[in-house]
Amino acid sequence: MSDKRTELEQLGEFGLIEKLTKGFKQGKDSTLFGIGDDAAVLEKSENEVTLISTDMLVEGVHFNMMYMPLKHLGYKSVVVNLSDIYAMNGIPEQITVSIAVSNRFPLEALEEVYEGIQKACEVYNVDLIGGDTTSSLTGLTISITAVGTAKKEDVVYRSGANDGDLLVVTGDLGAAFMGLQVLEREKEVYKTNPNIQPDLDGFDYLLERQLKPEARKDIIGFLKELEVKPTSMIDISDGLASEIFHICKASKVGCRVYDEKLPIDAKVSTTAIDFNVDPATAALNGGEDYELLFTVAQGDYDKIKGNPHMTVIGHMVDKNSGLQLVDKQGALIDLKAQGWDHFKSS
Ligand code: ADP
Ligand code: MG
């Protein structure tokens, strides 16, 4: 190690990954795609690929024991990984689960986490095939690797979007973020007076989106039925804006996203306003909505039009035209990707 010291904050998460991995060459014929998409793509047979994705959840960073029920934590840690396999237009088949745990946790607590993991394995039809267990000094960390499969011709990368393609998002946005705001507010109230019961009435949808999200397995089925192969796809774990940036960067295109088209549930809007948050900001930058963002050729518009699970929010443009949000008055605003950049201090 030299005397030079570069703060991680300066690089951000993606800058760091780039720095650390830039010296690696991929020499194996079976590595069809390595770093830089939702999952790596490995050759399985002439017509099939294996998809591999890994994600880590760290206590105090990704979840807080004060409001995250252990069973939900187990369930969510599987779901966030499966979402990355679906984002490649693949089907998950196996997971491995590794845990680092401090002796603050009794067996019963870990059994609850595993109940959630098992439930997710049943719902998504995947096998738990291994993992690793170790002690930790700082709390609980769960790292899951998901393995999936797809036909080679079906795999969708982040990099295939073309000028003119339509930008489509599944489900609705901002609910997981607003759910987190509600939980944080109640945590603060509890800290000042533990006798006050948390007031979570009426926030069921937001809390479920935060605490027990689902991955969009169904969308992969719908796309097949509709005979639509997206030109690019990514899952929205870090916030819509940041994922739009990833697609645009990988595909070398720009985009126009229409503020008024963003799918936002009424409860998200009213809660956002109560919290002094612009609902569009919750949708664009909130994160943790495990939805899929994809692009389709304009010729596929008729096939997805009116589908209640899919909303066209904009279209791709030439790279030189930039990434812009069109507000309700028609003004163009540069799109900003805040997202969850883990090393930024703000
Ligand atoms: P996602 O948000 O879909 O989980 P990430 O943003 O975590 O993906 O990662 C982006 C890409 O960088 C992925 O291909 C991932 O496998 C790779 N990656 C992330 N961290 C590392 C690391 N420490 N070493 C090597 N590759 C990494
Ligand atoms: Mg992803």
Q: Tell me how far the alpha carbon of residue 50 lies from the centroid of ligand 1, in angstroms.
A: 17
d(CA 157, CA 234): 8
Q: What is the pLDDT of residue 197?
A: 79
> Beta partners for 98?
132, 143
Sign, Cα dihedral of 237, 243, 246, 247:
positive
Q: What is the pLDDT of residue 338?
A: 64
Q: Tell me how far the alpha carbon of residue 328 lies from the centroid of ligand 1, in angstroms.
A: 35
Helix or strand or coil: residue 149?
Answer: strand
Q: Which of 213-222, 322-331, 333-342 has the lowest mean pLDDT?
A: 333-342
Per DSSP, the residues of 76-104 read HHHHHHHHHHHTTT-EEEEEEEEEEE-TT
Phi and psi dihedrals of 264, rounded to 5? -130, 125
Terminal CA-to-CA distance of the chain, rounded, Å? 28
Q: What is the pLDDT of residues 31-50, one digit of tens each?
A: 999 999 999 999 999 999 99
Could you tell me which of 123, 106, 121, 124 has the C-alpha nearest to residue 70?
106
* Ligand closest to CA 238: 1
Whether pLDDT at 58 is above 80 = yes
Phi-psi region for residue 64, left (φ > 0), alpha (ψ -120 to 50) or beta? beta
Q: Tell me how far the alpha carbon of residue 287 lies from the centroid of ligand 1, in angstroms.
A: 17
Pocket (CB within 6 angstroms of ligand 1)? 17, 20-21, 35-38, 55, 84, 237-238
The 8 Å CB, 24+ separation contacts for 325-331 are: 325/256, 325/257, 325/258, 325/259, 325/284, 326/256, 326/257, 326/258, 326/259, 327/259, 328/259, 328/260
Whether pLDDT at 210 is above 90 = yes
Mean pLDDT of 5-16: 86
CB 247 within 8 A of CB 295: yes
pLDDT tier at 344, thresholds 50, 70, 90:
low
**Minimal-distance CA residue to ligand 1 atom 3:** 38
**Minimal-distance CA residue to ligand 1 atom 15:** 35
pTM given for the model: 0.94
Q: What is the pLDDT of residues 138-196, one digit of tens each?
A: 899 999 999 999 999 999 999 999 999 999 999 999 999 999 999 999 888 888 888 88
b or e along 219-239 (b: 16 or more beta carbons within 10 Å of the residue's beta carbon)? bbebbeeeebbbbbbbbbbbb
Ligand 1 atom with the smallest distance to the CA of 235 is 3
Q: Tell me how far the alpha carbon of residue 186 lies from the centroid of ligand 2, in angstroms.
A: 30
Biggest CA pair distance of the chain: 63
Q: What is the pLDDT of residues 77-95, one digit of tens each?
A: 999 999 999 999 999 999 9
Mean pLDDT of all residues in the chain?
93
Ligand 1 pocket test: which of 32, 35, 86 has the largest number of ligand atoms within 8 Å of its C-beta?
35
CB 2 within 8 A of CB 334: no
d(CA 107, CA 2): 43
Q: Provide the edge-to-edge strand list for the sheet that holds 166-170.
A: 232-236, 291-296, 166-170, 310-317, 254-258, 323-326, 332-334
- Specify the pairing of strand 254-258 against strand 323-326: parallel
Ligand 1 atom with the smallest distance to the CA of 21 is 25
Ligand 1 pocket test: which of 13, 16, 17, 81 has the largest number of ligand atoms within 8 Å of its C-beta?
17
Ligand 1 atom with the smallest distance to the CA of 40 is 14
Token pair for 190: 């509890």
CB 283 within 8 A of CB 262: yes
